[in-house]
Structure 1
């Protein structure tokens, strides 16, 4: 039987907000996706600072740890090194898959906007843009400088979706986890992956009318 699981490329860079990317990883695994994961050096520092996770030093060890942490089946999470130019996300002839950079540092925004490919994450973003594949960027910065805004506008015009880590409050969040889930639900929607983290806007009124 062929493996029909969807593949999602997920990259972590050095912006604050590691919780968003880690929660997204959990949800992608729960949805049965295969996830190709990439970490920048700064992302490892942020994850160690903002969470209880301490990522080991090598991709194979990271892969083993994340597989256990996310409750994934063996082979569902693959971790690629920063200069693994033979990884599928590094080439347009590799497996066609969306790329989510979550969180996305402003340095990564700049690299993508100018076509830099100094590491696997930047190259994966460049491939997504040139191949017209879904590219979702989750910056977390405040305030944004003119350079940041120009880069976001440029990338949006190239076809990327810029989704700042700006959770809403109309769902009456009661915890930090609720705020994280708000954004992750939006990411899953854009990836066309079913989610039950958040009800859709107006869903309660539609259901009430159906019952009346």
Structure 2
């Protein structure tokens, strides 16, 4: 069985991060289980010239957010963890409190309780103290907070290169090495 990851796409701006994650994971041969929030579907419409079906076709399995009985809602469904890209503050807050209302946040909660890797590409700025406290709580629970911050030392020639580098670094956190990630070579 190929490695398996859950990918959550929430409604924060930056849906390109979730799209690129699915593309890179497909290139690495990783089985992906996708859940997209209702707000993310709206964001897709606003930010990309892409039908939802095309985005969903990049995943191995796709689940509606209302299906809390899906396989990814159970700890007995073994995965290498979950990436939420982008991660809205609402999604972050639900995961931090354990009061989950959708399959996306339930799956993240399961990943935490099973002590699997949870990486949240939080897309919000500026942050108030409540946001920071939620991030601290999640970090203490074992999640990795990985805002999509560009690495300018790679001298990206395009937005596409910047997004690929950022997502590739997030996938590094799952020990997935992608040839498109530029590594620091030193002086």
Interval of TM-score (by shorter of Structure 1 and Structure 2): over 0.9
* Rounded Cα–Cα distance in structure 2 between residues aligned with 1:104 and 1:7: 20
Asked if 1:89 is matched to 2:79, the reply is no
* Rounded Cα–Cα distance in structure 1 between residues aligned with 2:24 and 2:181: 13
RMSD of aligned alpha carbons: 1.5
Q: Stretches of 4+ moved more than 2 A in 1?
A: 64-67
Contact 1:88 1:95 in 2 (8 A): no
What is the CA deviation profile of residues 62-81 of structure 1, one whole-angstrom value per residue up to 9, with x for unaligned ones?
4x7632xx4xxxxx611001
What is the CA deviation profile of residues 29-61 of structure 1, one whole-angstrom value per residue up to 9, with x for unaligned ones?
111111100010000011111111121xxxxxx
Asked if 1:36 is matched to 2:19, the reply is no
**Which protein shows a greater Rg?**
1
2:96 alignment partner in structure 1: 113
Asked if 1:194 is matched to 2:184, the reply is no
2:168 alignment partner in structure 1: 185
* Rounded Cα–Cα distance in structure 2 between residues aligned with 1:102 and 1:9: 11
Asked if 1:66 is matched to 2:56, the reply is yes
* Rounded Cα–Cα distance in structure 2 between residues aligned with 1:175 and 1:26: 17
Asked if 1:19 is matched to 2:19, the reply is no
2:134 alignment partner in structure 1: 151
| Structure 1: gaps of 5 or more residues | 56-61, 71-75, 206-212
* Rounded Cα–Cα distance in structure 1 between residues aligned with 2:21 and 2:78: 20
Contact 1:8 1:35 in 2 (8 A): yes
What is the CA deviation profile of residues 177-200 of structure 1, one whole-angstrom value per residue up to 9, with x for unaligned ones?
011012111012111112111221
Aligned-pair distance for 1:96? 2.9
* Rounded Cα–Cα distance in structure 2 between residues aligned with 1:193 and 1:28: 8
TM-score of the aligned structures, taking structure 2 as reference length: 0.94
| Structure 2: gaps of 5 or more residues | none
TM-score of the aligned structures, taking structure 1 as reference length: 0.84
After superposition, the Cα gap between the structure-2 partners of 1:33 and 1:79, relative to the gap in structure 1 and judged at 3 Å, is: same
Number of residue pairs matched? 187
